[in-house]
């Protein structure tokens, strides 16, 4: 049984801790936020992630998972330290590495025996080399430590599936010394292991997210062209997706990508490229298309409601995608803000989140939220929205406009119920 300290009880730290414990390791997950650790020690989970609570509870009961706010003590007492702290975006788009900095300082100031330091947080190319250099600069001998870059590829809402069915596990190392321990640590993971340099692993992570974002912006641009030619985009996506060189994943057109990873990682990668004078025309275009999706859908709505001032608009779904409570960089929130700017009276409903946004009214009942609404916008594709009772919807709304901003509804069914269906790239 390998003993490991995971630093950070956020989204990545918690899911990784639970999975490593499930793989048979003994995990101590630490965080400076005492209230968070108190919650976890009372069996409460600070984030919404399907199945995570049960997995944590099981491993805590089996004595394989512990929580503590004594970060320094845990770092001192464990020879393997996995860093899973946040690297939020700075104003200029680069990554804020101050949390990483703090942990590295703690490790170098307490190190007494050999340590393997694994960076799980998403960090810009060159960061792990820089961490290695800090150890050397502090006079720590190379025999005393190994730095490993081990990025995560978890999707929120699907994190447990992804962690137990990974398509790869990536390790960036400088020497072969930590490899045996790393293989043992992820023994339960059963996925191809990819070994590369420290910066190589960092680039795999950024390139993956940049490629996924590119697919989405590509899909959105194609959907616009389909819209102009009255072509059903979903047919095109299906046709594209059957080619295994392309694949159907991440070709869903809609409001665009949000969340804590794709927008931030793209901006950070762009920043890293510019620092080395590398041009990023493609990344710029991907972000540009994404940023203009809100306007595109508002224009669609304007075809039937030219003036939004005073209109009651209901938005279903406020998170950046379904099955999460995460509002970070949510395209739905950006849309809501635009609606407010245009003078609309915005009402919202979300299956998990009660949105606390000035000038909006949040509802706990899906159907109550649409009473007397002029238009209903589906901003995230929760299954319960796609399976709505459209006759009931029709009876409650004042005007019956449904704007499908996630391409997830069956337009035919909506129309049969006397509602007006609007979408981009929908016949
Ligand atoms: C992403 C990566 O998928 C994951 O590998 C990485 O580790 C973290 O970043 P996540 O941010 O949880 O995961 O969400 P993801 O499922 O990738 O969706 C990102 C955004 O893209 C969402 O806003 C989603 O609605 C949007 N999206 C996704 C589309 O608009 N179309 C699609 O086809 C897929």
pTM of this prediction? 0.95
Mean pLDDT for 173-193 is 91
Pocket of ligand 1 contains residue 333 by CB under 6 Å: no
State pLDDT tens for residues 208-249.
999 999 999 999 999 999 999 999 999 999 999 999 999 999
Mean pLDDT for 316-324 is 96
Pocket of ligand 1 contains residue 320 by CB under 6 Å: yes
184 appears as a binding residue in the annotation: no
Pocket of ligand 1 contains residue 262 by CB under 6 Å: yes
Residues 260 and 346 in one domain: yes
Q: Within 10 A of 236 (CB to CB), how many other CB atoms are there?
A: 18
Residues 182 and 204 in one domain: no
Q: Within 10 A of 315 (CB to CB), how many other CB atoms are there?
A: 28
Residues 180 and 316 in one domain: no
Residues 180 and 217 in one domain: no
Query: Distance between CA atoms of 255 and 289, rounded to whole angstroms?
Result: 10
Ligand 1 atom 19: residue of nearest CA: 257
Query: Distance between CA atoms of 286 and 282, rounded to whole angstroms?
Result: 6
399 appears as a binding residue in the annotation: no
Q: Nearest to residue 281, comparing CAs of 311, 273, 114, 91?
A: 273
Residues 216 and 357 in one domain: yes
Q: Within 10 A of 281 (CB to CB), how many other CB atoms are there?
A: 7
5 as an active site residue: the answer is: no
- Residue 213: domain span: 197-427
Residues 280 and 373 in one domain: yes
Q: Which of 10, 216, 319 to mutate to test the pocket of ligand 1 (most atoms within 8 A of CB)?
A: 216
E strand spans, 130-201: 145-149, 169-173, 193-196
36 appears as a binding residue in the annotation: yes
Query: Distance between CA atoms of 39 and 67, rounded to whole angstroms?
Result: 10
DSSP state of 95: B
Pocket of ligand 1 contains residue 252 by CB under 6 Å: yes
Which of 156, 178, 196 is the last residue before a domain boundary? Answer: 196
What CA dihedral angle connects 237, 240, 244 and 248, to 10 degrees?
A: -10
Residues 407 and 279 in one domain: yes
Which of 145, 164, 196 is the last residue before a domain boundary? Answer: 196
CA distances in angstroms from 155 to 208, 250, 319, 321, 398, listed in the order given: 12, 12, 14, 10, 38
* Interface pTM, i.e. ipTM: 0.98
Residues 186 and 222 in one domain: no
Residues 104 and 141 in one domain: yes
Which of 196, 218, 236 is the last residue before a domain boundary? Answer: 196
Pocket of ligand 1 contains residue 374 by CB under 6 Å: no
* CATH code of the domain covering residue 165: 3.40.50.720
155 appears as a binding residue in the annotation: yes
User: For the chain, what is the domain count?
Assistant: 2
pLDDT category at 187 given cuts 50, 70, 90 is confident
pLDDT at 427 (0 to 100): 80
């Amino acid at each position: 049984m390998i003993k490991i300290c995971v630093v950070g009880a956020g989204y990545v730290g918690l899911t990784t801790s639970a999975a490593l414990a499930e793989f048979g390791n003994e995990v101590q997950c630490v965080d400076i936020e005492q209230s968070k650790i108190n919650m976890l020690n009372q069996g409460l989970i600070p984030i919404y992630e399907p199945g995570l609570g049960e997995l944590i509870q099981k491993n805590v009961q089996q004595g394989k998972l512990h929580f503590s706010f004594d970060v320094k003590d845990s770092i001192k007492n464990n020879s393997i330290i996995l860093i899973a702290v946040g690297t939020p975006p700075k104003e200029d788009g680069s990554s804020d590495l101050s949390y990483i900095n703090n942990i590295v300082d703690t490790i170098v100031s307490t190190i007494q025996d050999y340590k393997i330091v694994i960076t799980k947080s998403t960090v810009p190319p060159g960061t792990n080399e820089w961490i290695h250099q800090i150890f050397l600069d502090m006079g720590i001998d190379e025999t005393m430590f190994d730095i490993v870059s081990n990025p995560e590829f978890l999707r929120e809402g699907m994190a447990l599936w992804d962690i137990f069915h990974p398509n790869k596990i990536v390790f960036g190392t400088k020497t072969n010394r930590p490899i045996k321990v790393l293989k043992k640590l992820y023994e339960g993971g059963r996925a191809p292991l990819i070994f590369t340099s420290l910066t190589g692993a960092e680039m795999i992570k950024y390139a993956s997210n940049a490629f996924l974002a590119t697919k989405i912006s590509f899909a959105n641009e194609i959907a616009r062209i389909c819209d102009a030619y009255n072509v059903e985009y979903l047919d095109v996506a299906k046709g594209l997706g059957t080619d295994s060189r392309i694949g159907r994943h991440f070709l869903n057109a809609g409001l665009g990508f949000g969340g804590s990873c794709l927008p931030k990682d793209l901006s950070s990668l762009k920043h890293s490229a510019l620092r080395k004078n590398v041009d990023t025309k493609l990344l710029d275009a991907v972000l540009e298309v994404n940023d203009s999706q809100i306007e595109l859908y508002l224009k669609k709505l304007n075809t039937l409601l030219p003036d939004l001032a005073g209109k009651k608009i209901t938005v279903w779904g406020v998170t950046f995608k379904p099955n999460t409570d995460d509002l970070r960089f949510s395209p739905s929130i950006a849309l809501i803000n635009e609606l407010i700017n245009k003078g609309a009276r915005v009402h919202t409903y979300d299956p998990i989140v009660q949105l606390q946004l000035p000038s909006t009214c949040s509802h706990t009942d899906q159907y109550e939220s649409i009473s007397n609404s002029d238009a209903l916008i589906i901003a995230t594709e929760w299954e319960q929205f796609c399976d709505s009772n459209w006759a009931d919807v029709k009876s409650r709304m004042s005007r019956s406009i449904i704007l499908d901003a996630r391409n997830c509804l069956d337009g035919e069914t909506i129309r049969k119920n006397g509602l007006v269906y609007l979408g981009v790239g929908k016949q």
